[in-house]
Amino acid sequence: MNKLVVFLAAAITCCAWADTLTLKPGHPDAYVVKKGDTLWDISAMFLDDPWRWPTLWGANPQIANPHLIYPGDELTLVFIDGVPRLVRKGGKAKVRLSPGMNTTAKGGPVPPVPLSLIEPYLSFQQVISPEQLEGIPRVMGGERDAVGYVKNDVVFVHEELEIGARYGLYKKGRPLVDIDGKTLLGLEVELAATGQVIESGEISKVKLLNSRQEIVAGEYVMPITDASLLPSYFLPHPAPDEIHGNIIASNSKNTEIGVSQVAIVNKGSVDGVKEGQVYAIHRQGDQIAIDKNNENRPYREKEDLRAYDKVVTLLGDGRSVVLPKVYSGELMVFKAYDKVSLALIVNGRRPARLGNEIMAPVPMVLGTKRD
């Protein structure tokens, strides 16, 4: 009974802490938003947990689109019923247009993360699900007697396409495989050219309007849509507790993934992943085998063990323990596909690695530090 009381008390205390915003030491009392700022940067000036921006910012119901802020806005830290809130002083920066036209915001709203870091993944790359692969038209060849085709060339597509419609021609990229090493979650494709249908039929003709790379037989042909564009200006916010996943790929050629690099995780929109969700990254705890004949000598169960250590681990009568997970940093989702999502590493205590776990972040409480 006593244990239950202690557990409930701890749970209540934890929830109370989770609902309390702790300001970062040395935070400013006011800040004027500058061009090039991001919501993550601004939130990090005030909070150790920048993903708690929606709580700090609050609703601000007195203004339209309260979640948007603009360069030139003056933000002031206030306390409402003892709770810190960041509010905008006056309206957003505006510019007066000619008579008959509405007043509009000066410049675009502040993005959640630097657009320059994620724009290439939104403009030139897509992820196709395994189900989509089967029905996508492919380039069969071209009018010119050549292996590769460039701007102004005409290529043949084995599909009846709408005359005048514009299409993207994509090169096949790497397969995205789940953590089990077997399940195909999607296929990366990269935009190589755009074209317009000039003749429709069982074999349609597409004239290349521009080309970033040579087009060859086998390229995928897909309609140009807004699917690759950045979703509406989402807010950084904590991921739900029920979603757990793993990093399965990255844009880094190294084994380590650092801040401002892109990671791909094995959860997507079908799992409830949304743009703006922030996940904590954890390295799985090492599994340790301890030989009872020598309690002070742990043997790590890893591939690089010496042969003797492996024998002790496999044949010994010792016990096995798993060390705690190690916090590595945080990532923010900026594009959710069906079964995978693209995320930017926004905070890194340690470099992330392939296979690292992702889960809902936990607030820093009462000045504690994540190990």
Where residue 106 falls among pLDDT bands split at 50, 70, 90? low
| C-alpha to C-alpha distance for 368 and 179, rounded to whole angstroms | 32
What average pLDDT does this structure show over 125-144? 91
Mark whether 150 and 172 lie in a shared domain. Answer: yes
Mean pLDDT of 208-233: 82
- Report residue 103's pLDDT band, with 50, 70 and 90 as the boundaries: very low
pLDDT (tens digit, 9 = 90+) per residue, 244-264?
999 999 987 778 999 999 999
Supply the mean pLDDT for the chain: 82
Domain count along the chain: 4
Please state, for a pLDDT cut of 70, what percent of the chain lies above it: 74
Residue ranges making up the domain that contains 308: 288-315
Whether residue 177 is found in the same domain as residue 200: yes
CATH code, domain carrying 24: 3.10.350
**Each residue's pLDDT tens digit, 5-40:** 333 233 333 343 345 788 999 999 999 999 999 999
Q: Is residue 271 part of a domain?
A: yes
Over residues 79-89, the mean pLDDT reads 88
Predicted local confidence at residue 308, as pLDDT: 46
Pairing label, strands 352-353, 256-257:
antiparallel
Domain identity same for 292 and 281: no
DSSP alpha helix (H) spans, the chain: 2-18, 39-46, 53-57, 115-123, 130-133, 307-315
pLDDT, residue 14, reads 39
Bridge partners, residue 195, by sequence: 167, 208
How does residue 289 score in pLDDT terms, banded at 50, 70 and 90? low
Split at pLDDT 50, 70, 90, the class of 287 is confident
> Which domain CATH number covers 278?
2.40.10
Mean pLDDT in residue range 334-342: 96
Q: What is the pLDDT of residues 194-213, one digit of tens each?
A: 999 999 999 999 999 999 99
Q: Is residue 182 part of a domain?
A: yes
Same domain, residue pair 17 and 82: yes
Tokens of 251: 């844009």
C-alpha closest to that of 158 among 94, 99, 202: 202
Asked if residue 105 belongs to a domain, the reply is: no
Residue 98 lies in a domain: no
Residue 80: the pLDDT is 87
Q: Which of 121-125, 282-286, 293-297 has the lowest mean pLDDT?
A: 293-297
Residues 77 and 19 in one domain: yes
**CA-based diameter of the chain, in Å?**
89
Residue 368: inside a domain? no
Q: Which residues pair with 352 in a beta bridge?
A: 257
Residue 184 is predicted with a pLDDT of 96
Residue 111 lies in a domain: no
Boundary (domain end) residue, out of 92, 110, 141: 92
Q: Which of 92, 113, 141 is the last residue of a domain?
A: 92
Whether residues 190 and 249 fall in one domain: no
Smallest Cα–Cα separation from 333: which of 277, 283, 263, 285?
277
322: pLDDT confidence band, cut at 50, 70 and 90? confident
Give domain status of residue 13, yes or no. yes
Say whether pLDDT at 149 is over 50: yes
Query: Which has the minimum average pLDDT: 14-23, 115-124, 148-157, 351-360?
Result: 14-23
Q: Provide Rg for the chain, Cα atoms.
A: 26
Rounded to 5°, the CA angle 68-69-74 comes to 150
Query: How does pLDDT run across 174-189, given as a tens digit for each residue?
Result: 999 999 999 999 999 9
Residue 108, domain member (yes or no): no
